[in-house]
Chains A and B, each alone.
Chain A
Amino acid sequence: MPQIFPKKANLLPHLSLAGALLGGVLSIFLVWYYFSPEFLNVGYAPEQPVPYSHRLHVDQLGLDCRYCHNWVETSAHANVPSTQTCMNCHAQIRTESLKLLPVRESWATGQPIEWVKVHHLADYAHFSHAAHVNNGVGCETCHGRIDQMEVVYQVEPLSMGWCLECHRQPELYLRPNEEITTMGYVQPATFIERNLERIRREGIQPPTNCSACHY
């Protein structure tokens, strides 16, 4: 009976075994990297119905975050401002601007502007802005340098692992409450001691159990 395989086929079992092992490790790495919010979501910058520039309003004009997102300290949601908020100023400033046309239309018709949400959390994860903002987590910590953005984009992954990094060691991230909306805040040299002292004094205990966010 003739041989049905050439001699080099002897390599095949070894190659299959090595291939399966390497393939397994590789696929874990691929999932770890490519299935992550860090890869999929960071940098998401949807086009908005109005080309609103945070750089102009925050950095150059010096608006506080809470002028527009005014419920952030009392509500779970940092609200997107209504057209009325825009018109507080734009009833008198740049009333002829083409870019502001959708705002004036909304003002005239009563139809809200359909802003596109940038920072999505999974619907099974509950997050409260108030709980964070009132306990020393700055806007910038999660949203980045909004004051430098022409178009708002997602800076941080907002993944569970990313949340847990801070929930496990809040002293590395907290800032004084009066600096909450500060952009480009620089922590002093002794900020960890300061934060640890505050955590102890105020009893800040960020939960890390499942039902803290998933309920």
Chain B
Amino acid sequence: MARSNPAETALDAHSGDGYDASPPLVTGNLSFHDITDLVAYHAEKKTPVTWLMAFGLASTGAALLLIMLAYQVWNGVGVWGNNVPVGWGWPIVNFVFWVGIGHAGTLISAILYLFRQRWRTSINRAAEAMTLFAVMCALIFPTFHVGRVWAIYWTLPIPNQMEMWPQFKSPLLWDVFAVSSYFIVSLLFWYVGLIPDLATLRDRAALAGKTLRARVIGFFSLGWTGANRHWRNYEKAYLILAGLATPLVLSVHSVVSFDFAVSVIPGWHTTIFPPYFVAGAIFSGFAMVVTLLVVARKIYGLENLITLDHLEKMNIIILLTGTIVGFAYITEFFIAWYSGVEYEQYAFINRATGPYAWAYWTMMSCNLFFPQFFWVKKLRRSIPFMFLTSIVVNIGMWFERFVITITSLHRDFLPSSWDYYSPTWVDVLTLVGSFGLFFTLFLLFLRFVPMVAVAEVKGVLPEADPHYYDDHGDGHGAAESVAVRPSPSGS
């Protein structure tokens, strides 16, 4: 059975010679079995009424999204506010916003994994799920923005009798590949990590006599038995996928930034864009993880697994990336002045003082100012404050994309084209609907999938350390968990 294999990986479980005495990542003195019970219970219990209510609300939003998209397909892109000179309106803003949110999950799973940040284990499952759902929401916008959505397959290099072939010189095409490969690798990564836990659910269902449930989950657990060979293959696969996903985390938002940076619009044509976009993406992604987990850990009683320490670490990352983003805003301004290019200078002065100054200062205060409160330890450990800040950060990051997209375009090269962009009601309801879809998917995840990586969390318990029993008793005290522990080293 899966739960009998606490040691997670060679990387995590065998990081030093002695017993690891760093503060515990899991509180409440939970045993291996407690953790399994705690997490699996929520995927097995009867559907709670509150969940149904939340799901009803979220799926209404998703239905709204469907209606808005159908309306847009039927009537054309003209139902949105996009027009000359702002040809890229909210759809692109929303796309970049959602892709950005989709960054935290794979960063947590892949990069923190490679850097042996063991605290990732409590949050990586939910964060990766969030990533997948955010990327799905993101993909909707460019897909429908093409106007003729039924021809969207033209973006893929598929042989066809039109001899239509994608334009490989276009950053928009790079986007297609960057985002779709990110999605596929993230999905595989998430799924591979799920297999041991799905097997746990399967075995629990089989023991409880629920054959159908055991079979359905059993199909997805790919015959996992927790054998030593399975763990060795699993860990190799996980390491390889982490290696594959790591460059993708950085490349996706770099490529998204090329959509802007490769053009020659003042305010877009800057080399700072890729690192600045990646930092902003991690910033907003972590904020969304905090928003979701603060609520989920409370409702599902997971405070011992997702502890304040975990949340504090994420808040530190929010503080760090928020400051990087704020530094980038100021650098942009400096470079505009330093370049001596009057159009570049105008673009930035206009951002801060022009008709969209309200958006610019919203962005500045949400992204640069508010996260600075996290310097105070008390505030970054305060649940209400971090919840509020995480939402403020995501509002700010939405406005960042709004400022970049709209302010750079609304002052065209031809002053006669200058205009003030406003979204339509369809724009607004489509964005609202995309949140509906996001929360629908996330609620389904919370309901049916173990929301914490059970096997991995067990791997970071002190008892999983091979030398734990050197200092605790005679090494025979907990015979069950000692005897079946696999060889800690795959090498």
CA distance A157 to B160 in the complex (A): 13
Determine whether A4 belongs to the interface, using a CB cutoff of 8 Å to chain B.
yes
- Cβ-defined contact, A164 with B218, below 8 A: no
Determine whether A161 belongs to the interface, using a CB cutoff of 8 Å to chain B.
yes
CA distance A119 to B160 in the complex (A): 21
- Cβ-defined contact, B206 with A35, below 8 A: no
Query: B161 touches which one: A10, A28, A36 (CB < 8 A)?
Result: A36
Determine whether A13 belongs to the interface, using a CB cutoff of 8 Å to chain B.
yes
Q: Mark A75-95, 1 if CB is under 8 A from B, else 0.
A: 000000000000000000000
- Cβ-defined contact, A160 with B202, below 8 A: no
Contact segment of B34-42, B207-215, B400-408: B207-215
Determine whether A38 belongs to the interface, using a CB cutoff of 8 Å to chain B.
yes
CA distance A33 to B203 in the complex (A): 47
CA distance A13 to B215 in the complex (A): 14
Please name all residues of chain A whose beta carbon is closer than 8 Å to the beta carbon of B218 when the two chains form the complex. Answer: 4-5
Query: A159 touches which one: B159, B161, B203, B214 (CB < 8 A)?
Result: B161
- Cβ-defined contact, A13 with B160, below 8 A: no
Q: Decide yes or no: A28 and B214 within 8 Å by CB, A1-B203, A4-B206 being known contacts.
A: no
Determine whether B153 belongs to the interface, using a CB cutoff of 8 Å to chain A.
yes
- Cβ-defined contact, A1 with B207, below 8 A: yes
Please name all residues of chain A whose beta carbon is closer than 8 Å to the beta carbon of B211 when the two chains form the complex. Answer: 4
Q: Output the nearest chain B residue to A164 by Cβ-Cβ distance.
A: B163
Query: B214 touches which one: A4, A12, A35, A157 (CB < 8 A)?
Result: A4
CA distance A4 to B153 in the complex (A): 41
CA distance A14 to B243 in the complex (A): 26
- Cβ-defined contact, A36 with B206, below 8 A: no
CA distance A146 to B219 in the complex (A): 60
CA distance A33 to B162 in the complex (A): 11
Interface size bucket, A side? Answer: 20 to 34
- Cβ-defined contact, B222 with A160, below 8 A: no
Q: Decide yes or no: A32 and B207 within 8 Å by CB, A4-B215, A5-B218, A10-B223 being known contacts.
A: no
Q: Output the nearest chain B residue to A168 by Cβ-Cβ distance.
A: B163
Determine whether A206 belongs to the interface, using a CB cutoff of 8 Å to chain B.
no
CA distance A32 to B164 in the complex (A): 11
Determine whether A37 belongs to the interface, using a CB cutoff of 8 Å to chain B.
yes
Q: Decide yes or no: A32 and B214 within 8 Å by CB, A12-B219, A13-B222 being known contacts.
A: no
Determine whether B484 belongs to the interface, using a CB cutoff of 8 Å to chain A.
no
Please name all residues of chain A whose beta carbon is closer than 8 Å to the beta carbon of B162 when the two chains form the complex. Answer: 36-37, 159-161
Please name all residues of chain B whose beta carbon is closer than 8 Å to the beta carbon of A38 when the two chains form the complex. Answer: 161
Q: Mark A157-194, 1 if CB is under 8 A from B, else 0.
A: 10111101000000000000000000000000000000
Q: Mark B178-213, 1 if CB is under 8 A from A, else 0.
A: 000000000000000000000000110011000100
- Cβ-defined contact, A160 with B159, below 8 A: no
Determine whether B158 belongs to the interface, using a CB cutoff of 8 Å to chain A.
yes
Please name all residues of chain A whose beta carbon is closer than 8 Å to the beta carbon of B160 when the two chains form the complex. Answer: 31-32, 35-36, 161
From A5, A10, A33, name the one whose CB has the most chain B CB atoms within 10 angstroms: A5
**B positions within 8 Å CB-CB of A:** 153, 158-164, 202-203, 206-207, 211, 214-215, 218-219, 222-223
Q: Provide a sorted-by-A list of 20 A–B residue pairs whose CB atoms are within 8 angstroms.
A: A1-B203, A1-B207, A4-B206, A4-B214, A4-B218, A10-B223, A12-B219, A13-B222, A13-B223, A28-B159, A31-B153, A31-B160, A32-B159, A32-B160, A36-B160, A37-B161, A159-B163, A160-B163, A160-B164, A161-B162
**A positions within 8 Å CB-CB of B:** 1-2, 4-5, 10, 12-13, 28, 31-33, 35-38, 157, 159-162, 164
Q: A4-B214, A5-B218, A31-B158 are in contact. List 20 more A-B contacts (CB 8 A).
A: A1-B207, A2-B206, A4-B202, A4-B206, A4-B211, A4-B215, A10-B223, A12-B219, A13-B222, A28-B158, A31-B160, A32-B158, A32-B159, A32-B160, A33-B161, A36-B162, A157-B161, A159-B162, A160-B162, A160-B164
- 3 shortest interchain CB distances as A-B pairs: A161-B163, A36-B161, A160-B162
